[in-house]
Structure 1
Amino acid sequence: MGFSQRSQHSSFLENQKAIEARWHKRFGDRKNELVIIGQDLSVEQITLELRDCLCTELELKHMESGGCFKDPFPVWE
């Protein structure tokens, strides 16, 4: 959604400063929250494993140029 469309929503206008503070030119709104509940968890290990899920720069460029990725979890074989 472009700025002209967002600016028509009162919820955007009321929170515009906070939204734009975390806005990224390349990716847009990047706010995500993840809650992990458990006992004796390693924050360092969880952080490393989550970082391994991020796209590489090469993968991002492939995606931005219209490239596709094979779904590692297809519903239908």
Structure 2
Amino acid sequence: MSESVNHFVNHYECDRCGRKWTDIWSAMCDDDCPSCGAQHVSPYRSDDAGFAASKKKLGRRKNANLAKDRKSPPPSQA
């Protein structure tokens, strides 16, 4: 039986470089900027993800969001 936890889609904007991104967490918590590495960026908005996800499901969704938030397209995997 897997552990299920409610999650939040947190929306961030870096004060240092202006990068915007989203990430899924089990709380409305600070994150580090994926572009410049600025630490402790607080979310300007958090939405209830509307689902309870196991850690395995969360990993797939988080990876999809990270790919979507990149400034340039991911490299081709030929």
Give TM-score scaled by structure 1 length: 0.31
Greater share of residues in strand:
2
Greater helix fraction, Structure 1 or Structure 2: 1
User: Normalization by structure 2: what TM-score?
Assistant: 0.31
* Structure showing greater Rg: 1
